[in-house]
Amino acid sequence: MAKKGRFSEFGEAIRNFWNSPGIPSFIEILEKGLDKELFFDPDRTDSQIPKEDLPIDFRLRQSGFARKLYEKLFPVSHVFRITHRYGREFLDNFMPLAAENYIGRGSYKFVYTLPWNQVVKIGKSKLPSDPIFGSLYKEVQNNLERYLKTEEIGLMHHLQKSAWGESKRDEIRFKFARLGLERLHYWKLKSLIPDLVLPTRFFMGLRFRRSPFGIPVVTLTPCDNQNLLPGKHLKEFIRLNEKVRQNPIQDALFPKWKLNFDTHRFGIISKSKLKKIALDFHRVIEVTRYLAQEEKLIFDIHSENIIITIPDFELKIFDYHVFDEHLYEPSKENPSPEVDHINLIKEFVSSFELG
């Protein structure tokens, strides 16, 4: 109860904070320190992290025939950050892209490495019916001035003026609202476990592809970028050597394995490091429980969202999405959907055998 009370007080403090006069804006708070955190020297490309040290899930890199053909015919070229200055659209922060820099895709983004040990994540096209656009999206949609910078709102209006048709203007607004939504999802976690969440800058991007006819294919889409860390996805530390007993049909069609943590797979992890990882996992559990109980939101955490850095062996979360509770189907064992996430983490931590 003490922990729940602590998080409840924290949530109340944040709500009061929003309503206090004379405070920095949401985005000012969100981006404080990012210039320092994400600083890079464009003239230094001599210390690239080796590809074998990156948290790459090669299964996520694979695409079907149609997608591979499309990428061949319309290869990515670069992405710019686009904003509104001098009364018109303004491009800056050139980021070169290439097929060999593609390192993965999630449900909502394509991920590319940059030459300066950072990644850029390029938003996929999504329909408004996607479950990510729930109550938090409505909050952003109704308060765009809170979640977008002044120049981003200026850009949105500028683009809408030159758009043909109401549907195109709605599509532009939808993309900018999605940018604000990404920031809000990030803030939900960053405000509760700031040291575990990778610093992230969100921006509206203009992605370019080269067509076979020499005409560039340009797409306006929300993007974000982060520093690239050497490490491995959580799932890469898992040793599947103990099967969970089910009924014969489930064993044959849907086998389940106990999640055992392999402490020697990428170097020997000391007991003190394991204790720190276990403590951080328990903090993630508390945040997951708080969001579910106090805000009716499910932190959609999976092993693909977490890395353990090498050689420091620290827990880091680099992908952030929260969904409305009612969009999740509870399982037979757990009537509350967040319990499935919590139990998975607990099972994993118990394999540390720390007592």
Mean pLDDT of 211-238: 89
In-domain check, residue 37: no
The answer to whether residues 157 and 200 belong to one domain is yes
- 289-327 pLDDT, tens digit per residue, is 999 999 999 998 877 788 889 888 899 999 889 999 887
Mean pLDDT of 231-253: 71
Q: What is the Cα–Cα distance from 106 to 321, expressed in whole angstroms?
A: 11
Pairwise pLDDT comparison (238 vs 88), residue with the higher score: 88
Range of the domain at 83: 47-228
37-41, 42-46, 270-274 — which is least confidently predicted? Answer: 42-46
In-domain check, residue 16: no
The residue from 171, 206, 228 where one domain ends is: 228
Q: For residue 24, what pLDDT band results from cuts at 50, 70 and 90? A: confident
Contact 100, 76 (CB under 8 A): no
The answer to whether residues 198 and 115 belong to one domain is yes
In-domain check, residue 31: no
- 69-82 pLDDT, tens digit per residue, is 888 899 999 999 99
Please give the radius of gyration of the chain, using alpha carbons only, rounded to the nearest integer: 22
The answer to whether residues 213 and 191 belong to one domain is yes
Pairing of strands 201-209, 76-85: antiparallel
The answer to whether residues 236 and 137 belong to one domain is no
Distance of CA 43 to CAs 118, 155, 159, 272, Å?
A: 14, 31, 34, 38
- Residue 16: predicted pLDDT: 64
- Residue 352: predicted pLDDT: 74
- Residue 258: predicted pLDDT: 62
Distance of CA 135 to CAs 93, 132, 236, Å?
A: 32, 9, 34
The answer to whether residues 216 and 246 belong to one domain is no
| DSSP H helices in 245-352 | 248-253, 271-295, 338-350
Residue 53: what residue type? D
The answer to whether residues 183 and 248 belong to one domain is no
The answer to whether residues 260 and 164 belong to one domain is no
The residue from 228, 254, 282 where one domain ends is: 228
Q: For residue 355, what pLDDT band results from cuts at 50, 70 and 90? A: low
The answer to whether residues 214 and 68 belong to one domain is yes
The answer to whether residues 200 and 244 belong to one domain is no
In-domain check, residue 207: yes
In-domain check, residue 62: yes
Q: Which of 96, 37, 29 is nearest to 229 (CA)?
A: 37
**Residue 313: burial class (beta carbons within 10 Å; 0-12, 13-18, 19+):** buried
- Residue 11: predicted pLDDT: 63
- pLDDT surpasses 70 at 1: no
The residue from 213, 228, 243 where one domain ends is: 228
The answer to whether residues 151 and 279 belong to one domain is no
Whether omega for the bond prior to residue 131 falls within 30 degrees of 0, making it cis, is no
The answer to whether residues 172 and 103 belong to one domain is yes
pTM of the model: 0.85
Q: What is the Cα–Cα distance from 110 to 52, expressed in whole angstroms?
A: 20
Element of type H or E holding 120: strand 118-123
Q: How many residues does the chain have?
A: 355
In-domain check, residue 213: yes
Mean pLDDT score of the chain, rounded to an integer?
A: 85
In-domain check, residue 221: yes
Domain count, the chain: 2
In-domain check, residue 40: no
- 134-163 pLDDT, tens digit per residue, is 999 999 999 999 999 999 999 999 999 999
The answer to whether residues 291 and 321 belong to one domain is yes
